[in-house]
Amino acid sequence: MSQIVFMVALFILALVRALYMRRHAMATSPYESCNTVGGWYILAPILALPVFHDIAVSAYEQLLEMPYLIIIGFLKGSGFWGMIYSGQIMRRTSNSSAGFFGFICIGLIAIGNSIFGEDLTLPQWVSVVCLFLMGLYFYSRGHLSTQSSFVKLLFMFQILIGVMFGMIDHYFLTHCNWYALVVLTGVGMLLMAVSFGRMKFSQVLESVKSPKTAGLGIVLSLIEMTVLSIFVTHLPVTLGWVAMTLASVAVMVIAAVFWGEGRWQQQLAVGSFTYASALPIILT
């Protein structure tokens, strides 16, 4: 199957995830969002075990051979907890800022993953560089420029975590499989909830089973399972990030039209240039 088909699928999944998270950002606390996602990252693979039994057994055997991957998975989980927490805070005032950090991440991820064997063509590198420059433009001239210093700090934090994610996904998935990464990410998130979040485990479980927040955990866990099953096997991680980050451009325009975040004409112009920057990937 063509890479472009998988990129379109990732674009749609990322768009659904961003809009659904915005809805919850306005109705629930960042702690509740983090906790329900972490819990369902563990529950969803367990409930799907009859379907993915062979993949789970393979993951178990690979982790026994390379136990250091467990620490890497926990590291992603702890970072993901922080990313969701900070992202939900940002979405209350700037949805576009909560997603546009990915464009800066793309350039840094591409450089990092090239060290670990990810191979991009020259046209793909051209797109990556152009999108990276668009990320820098958004930081200085986009809706983020109107935000407080605290939101800008959260934006930089998300870049740091995002780059770590991109490199962890590539490295982990070339040594193990997506099933193990989803479960270990969930465990890492729950460890962060209990330690950094200073919450009792019973409070975490309450967020997982609460009708108000469970939907977010279920949707995000299913999306993550699908995304990670595509990464490496069907699409380089960097190109996967390109596809998902392009969804933030659509969110940016939606935010301008419906939520008054900046002028929609400017957002549409930036979005058009951004999509044009992705053409070298689409046409190769």
Distance CA 247, CA 19 (A): 10
CA distance 5 to 9: 6
User: Residue 73 burial (CB < 10 Å; 0-12/13-18/19+)?
Assistant: buried
pLDDT digits over 108-124, tens only? 998 988 888 888 888 88
Given pLDDT bands bounded at 50, 70 and 90, which one contains residue 171? very high
Give me the DSSP letters along 153-203.
Answer: HHHHHHHHHHHHHHHHHHHHHTTS-HHHHHHHHHHHHHHHHHHTS---HHH
- Residue 199 pLDDT exceeds 70: no
Residue 197 has pLDDT above 80, yes or no: no
Supply the pTM of this predicted model.
Answer: 0.84
Residue 273 has pLDDT above 80, yes or no: no
- Local confidence band at 13 (pLDDT 50, 70, 90 cut-offs): very high
Domains in the chain: boundaries = 3-282
Answer whether residue 206 shows pLDDT above 90. Answer: no
- At 227-255, the pLDDT tens digits run 999 998 888 888 888 888 888 888 877 87
Residue 87 is predicted with a pLDDT of: 82
281: which 2 tokens? 């990937």
Q: Is the dihedral of CA 163, 107, 109, 267 positive or negative?
A: positive
